Structure 1
């Protein structure tokens, strides 16, 4: 019996979430924002790295090891208490953040970025201001997304190959020596840490699974580009990406909803004076004159206090109306930038702005990208102008024409 053809909105919705990776620009902004925030934090705290996560940390090596053994968290910094091992781990996190920011071999670098973030944050769990929790979560989710479809070195490499070889979406890539070497080296490193002490079996399965998926993906794209297993693999990748994007959006809504409802229960938030108190704490007053100016106006303090609660509680419900959602996004981004300046929490604010970007309209982000390209083109010498045309940029927006590599 031949099943009837399914049509209508449900069928179109299923086709859309299986045929393409949704939100390529939104996930690209998330990738850039989270990696840039973590990179800036690591560079800013470079002189204090030993006190934060190293041998001079108040959260001692023995205490951290006992905690990790109890909760099964991943951190490579506890595999050895040698100072050189810590320096290598810190530098590893810096390099992986920079590579993820640029979008180089993103499928692999996103895993390395996650390993670097977890290693440092799980070494000293009490170091952070709230933004570290957001980076912690997003580092895990980015591994599941196809976040380098646009605005990355991977996308640029795909355009160059397509222009040079006339590659199509289904055509297998040419030999990728860099990808094969990188995959092999990481396999040897993973073997070493699996046989050595420190890496639990749970995390070993996670990393070995990701490593094996890279090999399977490359083999399908290389030797069966036009067959059904390759199409199924692409559908699965799109589903994983779209599912991760949905989880990220739900996570952002949950952050704001819980923060807003907890504030509603506080008496200081109810009477509109909550902002007054942090503005008089030395830790949250990098600009005493500015803090004094804001706190001197009772009406302004009350409006900001109530506005913060209303914005956070209302945000999840505004997703049903695009215009209201966009207005509220502007308000929330402005609020986070104000927190960065007024309360001296720049990395928390940057992390929240990055996750807010997943709700930005695609048209706005594409326009922002065109503006950035025009700006960079003006900085080039006349003889250096060129690069991908409008057609390449538009094609890269939905991922067509991007050859598959082993660890690209």
Structure 2
């Protein structure tokens, strides 16, 4: 009984005392923000047809659908072209800010608003990757995903180093100003009745606004440490809970997909793999698709291997080595799907969801390699820039040129 209580107390202390998986949460932040940013940039020339007010799925049709399913989308607040262009630009900037880890808490909320608004505006243009991104954008709001590999982390390290040297750290003004502007926008949207399709998203937005305002006020004026510790514990619990939900969501996706494939005969005889390879929509490389489909052995390995890996993956989480092997196989599978079937954003979303299970040691080594590569690139750039000459050197060069003439 004492051992059980000791284990339980240690578990509670770990869950409440720190935000677990800082590298995993940073990877999913970078992965999902990068996936959505690349998608928005690729579809920028086609944004009017996909989400614009004059697109095939008209503004009135979208209003009727959201009134029935209570989906949130800020694009239906106005049918003007100016509002659409400004919001699309806001979605791009929010994705870039979240990717870089700049004002991560604010960027994660704006990222969620951008994803939900654009996808719910035209629900018939998405695929499985969009569904994953839809869910993960909601979960990311609850995570502390800017602890590492972010501009926020670098700013915090610099502030800590300045305090250690005894220097005065200037007060943060960007955060309060940013949240004051967003708070004013939220008040106007609430007063004018823009949130008329549901209460979940506006409640989340108001909770985030009030919570971060409280955090800033306590950090600025509270002299005792107890309020800060309490807020930090609440944030850690929300982060760890959201991370568990993200893991459970990934397992649920693979489990349902694998067991659904078992029930039918198309994955048993290989036709579920064969036919998509010969559809024009999923054949960016017809020669490669023909090469794969010409071999019955390849079709059998792909079909049965996909089913076995997806069904087995949730059960291998308790064995680290087997889990890592299946994780590599899943990432290879999605990479092949991206190339052969021409679904890069679906594959990127699924690979990012898989990355939450990557070992911390591997992610640290990966981060160290990226840091060394960045230092080398910076050093090469510095070497290519010639050093400024002194006045004596300039005079000597000028004298040499005169003598040459």
Q: What's the TM-score, normalizing by structure 2?
A: 0.90
1:388 maps to none
Q: Name whichever of 83-92 and 312-321 sits farther off.
A: 83-92
Q: Which runs of 4+ in 1 moved over 6 A?
A: 382-385
Change in Cα spacing, 1:383 to 1:64, as seen in structure 2 (3 Å) is: closer
For the pair 1:179 / 2:167, whether they are aligned, the reply is no
2:37 maps to 39
Say which SS state the counterpart of residue 8 (structure 1) adopts.
Answer: helix
Compute the displacement of 1:11 (Å).
Answer: 1.4
Say which SS state the counterpart of residue 145 (structure 2) adopts.
Answer: coil
Q: Could you tell me how far apart the structure 2 residues matched to 1:197 and 1:120 are?
A: 20
Q: Could you tell me how far apart the structure 1 residues matched to 2:133 and 2:169 are?
A: 33
Q: Is the 8 A contact 2:284 2:340 kept in 1?
A: yes
Compute the displacement of 1:129 (Å).
Answer: 1.9
Q: Could you tell me how far apart the structure 1 residues matched to 2:29 and 2:232 are?
A: 21
Say which SS state the counterpart of residue 126 (structure 2) adopts.
Answer: coil
Change in Cα spacing, 1:248 to 1:292, as seen in structure 2 (3 Å) is: same
Change in Cα spacing, 1:263 to 1:215, as seen in structure 2 (3 Å) is: same
2:397 maps to none
Where in structure 2 are the equivalents of 1:295-334 lying within 5 Å?
A: 295-334=293-332
In structure 2, runs of 5+ residues without a counterpart are: 384-405
2:27 maps to 29
Q: Could you tell me how far apart the structure 2 residues matched to 1:280 and 1:210 are?
A: 48
Q: 1:271 aligns with which of 252, 266, 269?
A: 269
Change in Cα spacing, 1:17 to 1:357, as seen in structure 2 (3 Å) is: same
Q: Could you tell me how far apart the structure 2 residues matched to 1:129 and 1:40 are?
A: 16
1:370 maps to 368
Q: 1:166 aligns with which of 160, 164, 177?
A: 164
Q: 1:195 aligns with which of 191, 194, 198?
A: 191
Q: Is the 8 A contact 1:161 1:167 kept in 2?
A: no
Q: 2:105 aligns with which of 99, 104, 107?
A: 107
Root-mean-square deviation (CA, aligned residues, Å) is 2.0
Greater relative contact order (Cα < 8 A, sep 6+)? 1
Compute the displacement of 1:346 (Å).
Answer: 0.2
2:354 maps to 356
Q: Could you tell me how far apart the structure 1 residues matched to 2:169 and 2:128 are?
A: 42
Say which SS state the counterpart of residue 123 (structure 2) adopts.
Answer: coil
Q: Could you tell me how far apart the structure 2 residues matched to 1:67 and 1:131 are?
A: 22
1:94 maps to 92
Deviation per residue, 1:368-397 (Å, 9 max, x gap)? 000000000001137979xxxxxxxxxxxx
1:143 maps to 141
State the structure with more CA Rg: 2
Q: Could you tell me how far apart the structure 1 residues matched to 2:151 and 2:338 are?
A: 30
1:221 maps to 219
Q: Could you tell me how far apart the structure 1 residues matched to 2:25 and 2:178 are?
A: 24
- Count residues in correspondence: 379
Q: Name whichever of 318-327 and 196-205 sits farther off.
A: 196-205
Change in Cα spacing, 1:192 to 1:142, as seen in structure 2 (3 Å) is: same
Compute the displacement of 1:262 (Å).
Answer: 0.7
Q: Could you tell me how far apart the structure 2 residues matched to 1:341 and 1:315 are?
A: 23
Say which SS state the counterpart of residue 53 (structure 2) adopts.
Answer: coil
Q: Could you tell me how far apart the structure 1 residues matched to 2:310 and 2:303 are?
A: 11
Compute the displacement of 1:273 (Å).
Answer: 3.1
Q: Name whichever of 205-214 and 92-101 sits farther off.
A: 205-214
2:71 maps to 73
Q: Could you tell me how far apart the structure 2 residues matched to 1:209 and 1:309 are?
A: 42
Q: Is the 8 A contact 1:263 1:309 kept in 2?
A: yes
